[in-house]
Amino acid sequence: MSANGSGILVIERILRDRQSIWQQIVAERDLNSLTGNMLASSAVALAAYGAVLGSFHSVLMAVTSAVKLPLLFLATLAICLPTLYLFNLVFGARLSVRQSLALVMTALTVTAMLALAFAPISLFFLITAPDYGFFKLLNVAILTLSALVGLRFLTGGMHVLNDAGLLKPATPAPLEAAPEPAPALVAVAANGDSASTVAAPVPTLPVAPPPPQFQPYAPRPQRPVGEQRPASMTLLYIWIMLFGFVGTQLAWTLRPFFGNPGQDFALFRSIEGNFYAEIIRTIANL
């Protein structure tokens, strides 16, 4: 496997060697290739899982859901990523756009691959218990669980970036005092009228330390009692809630994904109600 993983194999690197992913993001090394691999693997995994969702209704619904589910996640990312980046800029973090995108794409890739891993379970219940309400709730639970695990990776990556100092404002280097001039030659009288001139010792100037090198990731030390977490970490949790609300509303706008077998095929439904009311209604009707 290459250093970045290739295609769908990038998930194996994320799960087996996630610290190297964080190190690569911190060093901002070859992020275009890494992000491209994660984008491709996420789109393929979400398309496959979307086909499972739509197969409850018809082949045509399976095809449209295979297109709409990757679109849902990527559109939510496009809407919310500028907010995360600006949040960090406001509070002095030094993350670049590429680092922010790679970090969020890591969480999205984990979410997509975990959802794909649940696809056989979803198919099993589709074949053995083809109840529309139950099937819908089951897959909403699968996607929710997958998203929570993916967001766990996101917070873990942000902690590593915080330990590397990228979430804190850059501290200006202290001004160095000018070196003191070397003392003049001192004449020392000795043996009556004769004098000998002795040079005072010249102090050795300190050698500038080498520039700091990137250190491999080490386990994050416990934060001392009373020390506050960076504002960027607090805003991350706010952004996660924002991402969830935007994603669920966009999913409601792009519906149907499952397709009620009692209704004809439709690419989109009229916008009415909301996602949360629909879930409550479905639970009540079970």
Q: What is the pLDDT of residues 255-278, one digit of tens each?
A: 888 878 888 888 888 877 778 888
Tell me: the pLDDT tens digits for 108-121?
Answer: 999 999 999 999 99
Distance CA 258, CA 269 (A): 12
Distance CA 46, CA 71 (A): 9
Task: Give residue 267's pLDDT.
Answer: 81
Q: What are phi and psi of 115, to 5 degrees?
A: -60, -40
pTM: 0.75
Query: Structural domain boundaries of the chain?
Result: 7-169+229-285
The percent of residues in the chain predicted with pLDDT above 90, rounded, is 34
